[in-house]
Amino acid sequence: MRSRQHLVIDGDDTLWENNVFFEDAAEAFIDFLDHSSLTRDQVRAALDEVERLNLANHGYGSAAFGRNLQETYGRLAERDVQPADLDHLMELARQVVAQPMQLRPGVEPTLSGLASRHDLTLFTKGEEDEQSLKVERSGLAGFFDRVIVTPEKDVAAYHGLVAQHGFDPGSTWMVGNSPKSDINPPLAAGLRAVFIPHPRTWSLEVVDVIESERLLVLERFDQLLDHF
């Protein structure tokens, strides 16, 4: 794989930390709700279900997360819902994107090495303005030949990616941490994939990984340099 490859690389929780901030906000939400009988796990399960049901309409990102917090609060609150409560929940969501950018270990030197011999695409899912801001704050855009923000990463999105840019699926690898978005869809679309698990990947992105001879599993991002 030392010949030139197309490496399509995920952003959230692959290049930089993301879900940990949503997890912290969810914990703060549970504290604020302070339910008298539901356990923390039960409240979190209720929030997960609201998020799952609203994905098609709300999409991804902090604004969608804030609306999901508000809806879950409306379902579970044991007190009258006040406008100040709803404002507080949206502030919890806004704090997610206000956190300092934290790159994952080994990202910059690894991208520098890969960019010298491969074609790199940053392919990140979510709300366009929010994801573009993350890319800008990361300082990583210069390593990539192109940066693409997509509302969803499904099989159709990967077919569209390779068709638009003329990539050869046999030499195109999607690198990421999410089985649901970064691994199974590109494999189903005929591409190759590199799975780099993150210990705190969003629960809604965790599914069984397709077994494939076109799949490479690594423990760390910098191990890409051992293969590419």
Q: What letter would DSSP give residue 225? A: G
Q: What is the pTM of this model?
A: 0.93
Residue 158 CA to residue 139 CA, distance in Å, equals 25
Determine contact, residues 140/114, Cβ cutoff 8 Å.
no
Same domain, 135 and 204: yes
Same domain, 71 and 147: no
Q: Residue 57 — very low, low, confident or very high, per pLDDT cuts 50/70/90?
A: confident
Determine contact, residues 200/23, Cβ cutoff 8 Å.
yes
Same domain, 154 and 56: no
Is there a domain that residue 1 lies in? no
Q: List, for residues 96-145, the tens digit of each pLDDT value.
A: 999 999 999 999 999 999 999 999 999 999 999 999 999 999 999 999 99
**How many domains does the chain fold into?**
2
Q: List, for residues 146-167, the tens digit of each pLDDT value.
A: 999 999 999 999 999 999 999 9
Print the domain residue range for 193.
Answer: 6-16+101-226
Residue 189 CA to residue 160 CA, distance in Å, equals 10
Angle between helices 40-58 and 19-33 in degrees, nearest 10: 120
Same domain, 205 and 129: yes
Same domain, 26 and 106: no
* Residue 6 phi, psi (nearest 5): -95, 110
Is there a domain that residue 133 lies in? yes
Residue 180 CA to residue 115 CA, distance in Å, equals 26
Is there a domain that residue 162 lies in? yes
